[in-house]
Amino acid sequence: MMQRLNQTLRLITAGVGVFAASTAWAAGGSGGSEKPHDGQWLEKQTKVCASCHGDKGISQIPMNPILAGQYKGYLLHSLKAYRDGKRNNAIMAGQVKDMSDGQLKALAEYYSRQDGPLDLLKLD
């Protein structure tokens, strides 16, 4: 009897966990509350980014990548990977660790729209 009760409780707990995760995924977030990513936030954040990646994402430092004109999907994928610990760089991880998906999307959108020196095929 007790074994059956424990199995039932485990199934209920697992079901609640799956429901919560799927609800967060469907909402397009990581489950936390969305953080501001409006023009004022973006302007402030891109000034921080500029210290390594240059004005409008055109780095003058060879070891720091140029962001201007990069593909939005690539930028978003990279930013999420830094935030989620799937890509290792202590500086980038520290910069994006508390950013929401919306904030990362705003940064990726901004830098993808900047004119830069990279010779990339236009997909839009």
CATH number, residue 86: 1.10.760.10
How many distinct structural domains can be found in the chain?
1
Domain containing residue 89: 37-112
Q: Considering only 31-35, 42-46, 103-107, which range has the smallest mean pLDDT? A: 31-35
* Position 1 confidence tier, pLDDT thresholds 50, 70, 90: low
Q: Higher-confidence residue: 26 or 60? A: 60
The pTM of the full predicted model, rounded to 2 decimals, is: 0.70
Residue 98, in any domain of the structure: yes
* Distance of alpha carbon 77 from the chain centroid: 7
Residue 10, in any domain of the structure: no
Residue 120, in any domain of the structure: no
Residue 47, in any domain of the structure: yes
Residue 72, in any domain of the structure: yes
Residue 66, in any domain of the structure: yes
What region, left, alpha or beta, does residue 54 occupy, with left being phi > 0 and alpha being psi -120 to 50 degrees? left
Residue 16, in any domain of the structure: no
Residue 25, in any domain of the structure: no
* Position 16 confidence tier, pLDDT thresholds 50, 70, 90: very low
- Residues 72-76: contacts with CB under 8 Å, at least 24 apart: 72/108, 72/109, 72/112, 73/108, 75/107, 75/108, 75/111, 75/112, 76/104, 76/105, 76/108
Contact of 53 with 96, CB cutoff 8 Å: no
The full DSSP string for 41-55 is HHHHHHHHHHHHH-G
